[in-house]
């Protein structure tokens, strides 16, 4: 596989020069690499937030740094290939999204600093030894997904009257999903909900999984994962057809047709990740920078989806929402 098939160098004319040629010139631009878990479309609002904050801190693409981007599109093998190529390119720092992508980068290098803009469970997933200090060459920001599973179920129960039967769906090839599945099952038990677990391993499993849940449950909790991020619009369309009320963790999935989402504000996390990059490029060590927990959570309601389901969302619930998609 050739480098430019999966690594894109941004920054105008400066980014088109061969890397060795630039390195031979005095004042080689630092290379900030981004390894995304999903496809490029998922990051259409997130990468601009990251790049904007970098610019505010003095790192302007093509002038004072070069940005290299690669998207694993839900494939762990692809993430591993991209991480190895970034190490070969001798990038100065790797920014990632997703536990599997962090692990791929960690396997590729113990020397290049790694900053994760969003991961589900950094300690439980084996990304860092502890939140403070993390040790090693890795630090970043946690989504705290397992910790907020109960809150998502409480919100879902508010808008689905008499909710008793819940399905939990996730890509069980992702270790983080397995952790979140356990947290959701425990929270559902506490709330007195009967649960059905639906496991998927590839995008070819999505349609059959939803079809099997049709008529068996009243609502569906989705454990987020690059595979489902890539298929969110399709997934939500199938769920609406099956009359399933779906709760997600991130705004992006509600925008793609999910009923509601509750989770951290990703653009603000990406801006904060840029600040960690700034610290490291100015001399700080990742081992000494504590992993940060989210401080801002957003409740998003998709009224279009609610109307398609014939579901009336209480006005008091809508008033509490951070965003209502109409």
Is 70:36 a contact under the CB 8 Å cutoff? yes
Mean pLDDT score across all residues of the chain: 90
Q: What distance lies between CA 206 and its chain's CA centroid?
A: 19
Domain with residue 271: its CATH number is 3.40.50.2300
Q: What is the DSSP string of 108-122?
A: H-SSS-EEEEEES-T
What is the distance, to the nearest Å, from the Cα of residue 119 to the centroid of all Cα atoms in its chain?
Answer: 7
Residue whose token pair is 């009243």:
218
Structure tokens at 76: 């762990």
In this predicted structure, what is the pLDDT of residue 1?
Answer: 35
Beta-bridge mates of residue 298: 263
Q: Can you give the pLDDT at residue 226?
A: 87
- pLDDT per residue rounded down to tens, the chain (326 residues): 334 445 665 433 333 333 333 333 446 899 999 999 998 988 999 999 999 999 999 999 999 999 999 999 988 899 999 999 999 999 999 999 988 899 999 999 999 999 999 988 888 788 999 999 899 999 999 998 888 999 999 999 999 989 999 999 999 888 788 888 999 999 999 999 999 999 999 989 999 999 999 999 999 999 988 889 889 999 999 999 999 999 999 999 999 999 999 999 999 999 999 999 999 999 999 999 999 998 889 999 999 999 999 999 999 999 999 999 99
Give Cβ neighbours of residue 133 (< 8 Å, ≥ 6 apart): 287, 288, 289, 290
Domain that holds residue 214: 146-264+298-325
Q: How many domains does the chain have?
A: 2
The verdict on 211 and 312 lying in the same domain is yes
For residues 164 and 277, membership in a common domain is answered with no
For 3-16, how does the pLDDT look when each residue is reduced to its tens digit (9 = 90+)? Answer: 444 566 543 333 33
Task: Kindly state whether residues 105 and 230 are assigned to the same domain.
Answer: no
- pLDDT at res. 225: 87
Give the separation between CA 105 and CA 35, rounded to whole angstroms. Answer: 9
- Are 157 and 85 within one domain? no
- How many Å apart are CA 59 and CA 64, to the nearest integer? 5
- The confidence score (pLDDT) of residue 282 equals 95
Cα–Cα distance between 20 and 70 in angstroms, integer? 20
Same structural domain for residues 162 and 218?
Answer: yes
pLDDT for the residue 311: 96
Same domain membership, residue 26 and residue 151:
no
Let me know how long the chain is.
Answer: 326
Do 70 and 204 sit in the same domain of this protein?
no
| % pLDDT > 90, the chain | 76
Bridging pattern class, strands 66-71 and 8-9: antiparallel
The residues with which 23 forms a beta bridge, in sequence order, are none
β-bridge pairing 93-97 and 31-36: parallel
Task: Note the pLDDT of residue 17.
Answer: 31
What is the pTM for the complete model shown? Answer: 0.84
Same domain, 16 and 32: yes
Backbone angles phi, psi at 245, to 5 degrees: -90, 120
- Contact of 166 with 155, CB cutoff 8 Å: no
Question: The tokens 């996730």 sit on which residue?
Answer: 170
What is the distance, to the nearest Å, from the Cα of residue 157 to the centroid of all Cα atoms in its chain? Answer: 25
CB 152 within 8 A of CB 144: no
| Same structural domain, 320 and 180 | yes
Cα–Cα separations (whole angstroms), residue 118 to 37, 100, 101, 270, 294: 10, 11, 10, 8, 9
For residues 249 and 160, membership in a common domain is answered with: yes
Residues 235 and 275 in one domain: no
Residue 173 tokens, joined:
């090839």
Q: Are residues 38 and 169 in the same domain?
A: no
| Selection from 117, 90, 102, 125 nearest residue 7 by Cα | 90
- Vertex 97: Cα angle to 141 and 179 (nearest 5): 75
């Amino acid at each position: 596989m050739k480098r430019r098939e999966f690594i894109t160098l941004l920054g105008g004319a400066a980014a088109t020069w061969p890397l060795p040629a630039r390195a031979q010139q005095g004042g080689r631009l630092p290379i900030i690499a981004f390894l995304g878990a999903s496809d490029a479309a998922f990051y259409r609002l997130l990468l601009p937030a990251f790049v904007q904050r970098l610019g505010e801190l003095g790192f302007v693409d093509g002038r004072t740094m070069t940005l290299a981007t690669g998207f694993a599109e839900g494939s762990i093998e692809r993430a591993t290939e991209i991480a190895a190529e970034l190490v070969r390119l001798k990038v100065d720092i790797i920014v990632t999204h997703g536990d599997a992508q962090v692990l791929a980068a960690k396997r590729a290098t113990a020397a290049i600093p790694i900053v994760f803009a969003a991961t589900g469970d950094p300690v439980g997933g084996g990304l860092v030894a502890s939140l403070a200090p993390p040790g090693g060459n890795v630090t970043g920001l946690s989504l705290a997904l397992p910790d907020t599973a109960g809150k998502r179920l409480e919100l879902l129960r508010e808008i689905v009257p008499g909710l008793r039967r819940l399905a939990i769906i996730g890509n069980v090839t992702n270790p983080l999903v397995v952790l979140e599945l356990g947290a959701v099952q425990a929270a559902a038990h506490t709330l007195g909900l009967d649960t059905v677990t639906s496991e998927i391993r590839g995008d070819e499993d999505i349609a059959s999984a939803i079809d099997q849940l049709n008529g068996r449950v009243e609502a569906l909790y989705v454990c987020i994962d690059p595979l489902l991020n890539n298929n969110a619009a399709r997934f939500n369309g199938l769920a609406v057809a099956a009359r399933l009320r779906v709760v997600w963790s991130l705004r992006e999935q509600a925008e793609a047709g999910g009923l509601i989402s509750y989770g951290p504000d990703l653009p603000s996390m990406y801006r904060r990740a840029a600040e960690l990059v700034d610290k490291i490029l100015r001399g700080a060590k990742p081992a000494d920078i504590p992993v940060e927990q989210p401080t801002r959570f957003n409740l998003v309601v998709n009224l279009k989806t609610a109307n398609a389901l014939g579901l009336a969302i209480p006005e008091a619930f809508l008033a509490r929402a951070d965003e209502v998609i109409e």
